[in-house]
């Protein structure tokens, strides 16, 4: 007589859904955040070297609903944002790394983006006159040298944050904060439905990811679903 019993029988494990471990108030917050996320406005960082600035820009992007940050790596300064400044915000973002600006440009142009670099140069467009109703990428450069020549020759235009005081320049993180806030505010004011622009499929995918990230014991949960 053949042996049997549960230990020898194939069975389906019940799917473990992260949603069941979250309070309703937490799910509501995640749903609200997802509804305001944008992938049509993105930020590009060109060869930053200060990890405080790296983290500060990421935190601004996350808080303003910008889902994607594209990073051209500085070969002399690895992209490792300061954790005390970032406060874990990077886990909610899509951070894409590139060895060269050409690779980054090719990726974004292939998706239909216009690229504008922050640069103090003659003919640069006033930030407040820019429109953000199409796919738009803002490029911010190195703390000491600004954006590279490759960026200046590869972008569709340059822009400046208008200054009203004696100081005529801003730290990269401050310039990024002012510019990103302006762009998102413009989108909220001029676009139907506000700045959020994810498709239903993109929103659902991001929502499920955020639900999992919202569970404190998510590593154990992932292991449970893989058994």
Positions at the binding site for S-adenosyl-L-methionine: 118, 161, 170
| CB-neighbour burial class of residue 166 (10 A; exposed 0-12, middle 13-18, buried 19+) | exposed
Could you tell me the strand order of the sheet in which 114-118 lies?
Answer: 94-98, 68-72, 41-46, 136-140, 114-118, 157-160, 125-126
How many CB atoms neighbour CB 112 within 10 A? 9
Strand partners for 44: 70, 139
Q: Which residues belong to the annotated binding site?
A: 118, 161, 170
Alpha helix positions (H), the chain: 24-35, 51-64, 83-86, 101-110, 149-154, 172-190, 200-213, 218-226
Radius of gyration, CA atoms only, the chain: 21
Q: How many angstroms separate the CA atoms of 85 and 211, rounded? A: 24
């Amino acid at each position: 007589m053949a042996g049997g019993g549960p230990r020898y029988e194939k069975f389906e494990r019940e799917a473990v859904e992260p949603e069941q471990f979250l309070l309703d108030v937490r799910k509501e917050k995640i749903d609200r955040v997802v509804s305001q996320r944008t992938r049509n406005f993105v930020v590009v960082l060109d060869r930053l070297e200060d990890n405080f600035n790296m983290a500060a820009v990421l935190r601004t992007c996350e808080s303003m609903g910008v889902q994607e940050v594209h990073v051209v790596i500085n070969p002399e300064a690895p992209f490792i944002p300061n954790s005390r400044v970032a406060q874990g915000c990077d886990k909610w973002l899509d951070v894409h790394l590139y060895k060269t600006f050409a690779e980054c440009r090719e990726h974004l142009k292939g998706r239909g983006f216009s690229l504008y670099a922050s640069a103090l140069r003659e003919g640069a467009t006033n930030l407040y006159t820019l429109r953000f109703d199409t796919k738009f990428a803002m490029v911010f450069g190195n703390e000491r040298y600004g954006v590279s020549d490759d960026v200046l020759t590869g972008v569709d235009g340059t822009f400046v944050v208008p200054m009203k005081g004696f100081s005529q320049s801003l730290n990269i993180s401050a310039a990024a904060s002012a510019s990103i806030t302006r762009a998102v505010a413009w989108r909220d004011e001029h676009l139907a439905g506000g700045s959020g622009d994810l498709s239903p499929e993109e929103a659902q995918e991001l929502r499920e990811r955020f639900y999992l990230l919202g569970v404190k014991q998510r590593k154990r949960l992932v292991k449970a679903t893989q058994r």
